[in-house]
Amino acid sequence: MIGELFNTVFFNPIYNGLVFLLNVPFIDVGIAVILVTVVVKLVLFPFSLKMVKTQLAVKQLEPEITKLKEEHKEDKQEQARQTMALYKEKGVNPFSGFLLILIQIPVIFALYWVFLRGGLPEINMDIIYSFTPIPENINMNLLGLIDVSKKSILFALLAGATQYFQIKYSLPPMKARTGKASLKDDLARSFHIQMRYVMPIIVFSIAYAISAAVAIYWTTSNLFAIGQEIYVRKTIKNKHEEKLASDSTETNVEKE
């Protein structure tokens, strides 16, 4: 049931979109992979933007939430009730970020699965829509240079390198150790190190083990994510930090 729903809503449309692009003159499988990845990422971009705005709104309320926890530290139920009341008062839904992640996960899996199990140059006629034209010739060579159905050390390295920079941009910087670190701090630090240095190696290994098509998908996806993070920092996060600094200055002036 879940598998059929996944195929019908996510996998089949993306697969048909890929095949449709192969009918366009001068479009090879490598370029089609890049175009499909970018289109899907653009569709998901508003959800990512909404998630970032929610995270910033929740972060802005942290001082008030900390105050509520101190006031009701003996009554966890009241603490939770007051916290939810604060979110409602400020018009913030802390669970929307989680819901947005749930929306994106099946799309990202479908995109990856298309390039992993697409089976090109053979076309799976069982899932082709009646209105999707079948290309006469399928060019598997990206720009006539690299066969994307085979392994490519170059694109695997690009996938691993872009994954490193994508994680570097998206994760907050590690805090310097101050005194005796708690278990929570050690776990956070360990997670940060593994994500930054181990994940790119895993991505490189998988991309090289499967095919250049998957490596191209991963590279394109990472580059889009890096561009998205740069855009978000310039248009949202910086303005948010400036507003917090301005509010803090105004508060200090009022106190004086």
Over residues 45-51, mean pLDDT: 79
Average pLDDT over residues 238-252: 57
Task: Give the residue-averaged pLDDT of 192-203.
Answer: 80
pLDDT digits (tens, 9 = 90+) for 138-176: 888 888 788 888 888 988 999 999 988 888 877 766 555
Q: Which pLDDT does position 161 carry in this prediction?
A: 92
Residue 35 has pLDDT above 50, yes or no: yes
Looking at the predicted structure, is the pLDDT value of residue 44 above 50?
yes
Residue 40 has pLDDT above 60, yes or no: yes
Predicted confidence band at 256 (pLDDT cuts at 50, 70, 90)?
low
pLDDT value, residue 209: 84
Q: Is the pLDDT of residue 39 over 60?
A: yes
219 or 250, which is more confident?
219
Report the range of poorest mean pLDDT among 14-18, 47-51, 158-162.
47-51
- Mean pLDDT (whole number) for 42-52: 80
Paired tokens of 61: 């309320």
Q: Each residue of 201-237: pLDDT tens digit? A: 888 988 888 788 888 888 998 898 888 888 877 777 6
The whole-number pLDDT of residue 157 equals 92
> What is the residue-averaged pLDDT of the chain?
77
pLDDT of amino acid 253: 47
Structure tokens at 250: 């105004």
184 pLDDT more than 60: no
In this prediction, residue 174 carries a pLDDT of 58
Question: pLDDT digits over 69-116, tens only?
Answer: 777 777 778 778 888 887 787 777 766 666 666 766 787 777 778 777
Residue 251 pLDDT exceeds 60: no
In whole angstroms, what is the distance from residue 13 CA to residue 218 CA?
A: 19
Confidence of residue 243 (pLDDT cuts 50, 70, 90): low
